[in-house]
Amino acid sequence: MSPYFTDHHSLCRAPLAIGYLYLSLLLSSFSTAHAQVLQSCTATTNCGVGLYCGNCPALGKTQPICTRGQAIIPNSIINGLPFNKYTWLVTHNSFSIVDAPPLPGVQRLTFYNQEDTVTNQLRNGVRGLMLDLYDFEGDIWLCHSFRGQCFNFTAFQPAINTLREVESFLSENPTEIVTIIVEDYVHTPKGLINLFTNAGLDKYWFPVSKMPIKGEDWPTVTEMVQENHRLVVFTSVASKEAEEGIAYQWKYMLENEAGDPGVKPGSCPNRKESKPLNSKRASLFLMNYFPTYPVETEACKEHSTPLAQMVGACYKAARNVMPNFLAVNFYMRSDGGGVFDALDRMNGQTLCGCNTVTACQFGAPFGSCKNVAVPNVSPVTNTVGNTSPLTNTAGSFSGSVQFSKSASTIQSPNSLVFYLFFFISNIFLSYDGYSE
């Protein structure tokens, strides 16, 4: 008998075995590769789209779970409302990224506030960037520094690099709107407006002349997109509104205190430059929510119950007005839903009267909500006994953050060294305010 016939049965069994193997792998992929929020994982690839794998040892949660890593853009659900009716995610010191390379031959000594690139931040739904801009080496640089001066050990990179990332995003996403809030230490005449022009951002510029100055509603997001006014820029220097056409932040925006005063439970004081939070003379409200000294491993805890409570306190302080911008450190760290769930609930209440924006129905009467799965939560109660507009999710993540580019744990280098340097500068250099 020929070898062909003697191997016939084994050849028939081979495809069958391969089929069983393929089916086993397929079933395995369904059980692990599409885990949802709060379900266990071993790597980011186990989790569904827009989710990451991590844990939160700061809350005693050491087992890795899938956590949210992307925001729902609120006008993708309810469109056509004024810009000031939405709540947008903002990254504090968006450029101060833990693995950003230092200048050649220089050891950087500063605080870090974020963990992925500005491009990734925008792709993940961040719509506001806080940038500190300084004159440095004959150019304008991003720098996380103090005393209004950039040093080689606090410098990050020329600002035009990051602004070009913003330009690329706006070019590739013609319906998106981005806000930039500049902590401004640029003294070069026309330096700031020339910087934005050279980055190609002037074509998206929202003109100061169209900004409401008495607390009126802004143009609708639809109008802003149609007119290509999709970049809103504010500066911390009042004179630059007349000199360079860049809006002075606190003329148009209310803001609570940054740093530790802004995370004190039950309190939401206004920043000294800002009008009182209950003022009706400004139609935008920025809520700062980050401690003075950023620590990655604590961010997951900060983005759980305390965030819900602080939103309630600021909502009350503003006389039942929801913040339009929520500024945070390490925005992706949580023990489940984190800042993304907070934003969904903030937008849900404002846009449609529902407990989450995913329950909103475009064109339906206010308060008409779809039945959607919402995490089991406990309402946060404010001091007068009313239920807060924001309730806390059952989970969120941190500890070891796994981004798509790497599965390694990310740690801030030189934090303790800079803390020491910071306090010494406080004492010996007539410290006049660390750059937030």
Per-residue pLDDT tens digits for 195-218: 999 999 999 999 999 999 999 999
pLDDT band, very low/low/confident/very high, at 34 (cuts 50, 70, 90):
confident
Residue-level pLDDT at 196: 98
Q: Which two tokens stand for residue 180?
A: 């930039």
Percent of all residues in the chain with a pLDDT value above 90, rounded to a whole number: 76
Contact between 40 and 55 under an 8 Å Cβ cutoff? The reply is no
Is the pLDDT confidence value at 159 over 60? yes
Tokens of 95: 């450029």
pTM: 0.83
> What's the pLDDT tens digit per position in 126-139?
999 999 999 999 99
What band does 436 get if pLDDT is binned at 50, 70 and 90? low
Nearest Cα to Cα of residue 315 among 256, 395, 368, 240? 256
pLDDT at site 433: 42
**Whole-number pLDDT of residue 412:** 41
Which token pair is 50? Answer: 């827009």
Q: How confident is the model at residue 382 (pLDDT cuts 50, 70, 90)?
A: very low
Taking 70 as the threshold, does the pLDDT of residue 142 lie above it? yes
pLDDT in tens, 314-367: 999 999 999 999 999 999 999 999 999 999 999 999 999 999 999 999 999 999
The pLDDT score that the predictor gives to residue 170 is 98
Instruction: Report the chain's mean pLDDT, rounded to a whole number.
Output: 85
Does the pLDDT of residue 374 top 70, yes or no? no
Q: What is the pLDDT of residue 404?
A: 33
Give the CATH fold of the 69-401 domain.
Answer: TIM Barrel (3.20.20)
- State the Cα torsion 86-87-88-90 to the nearest 10°: 150
- Beta strand 231-235 with 178-185 is parallel
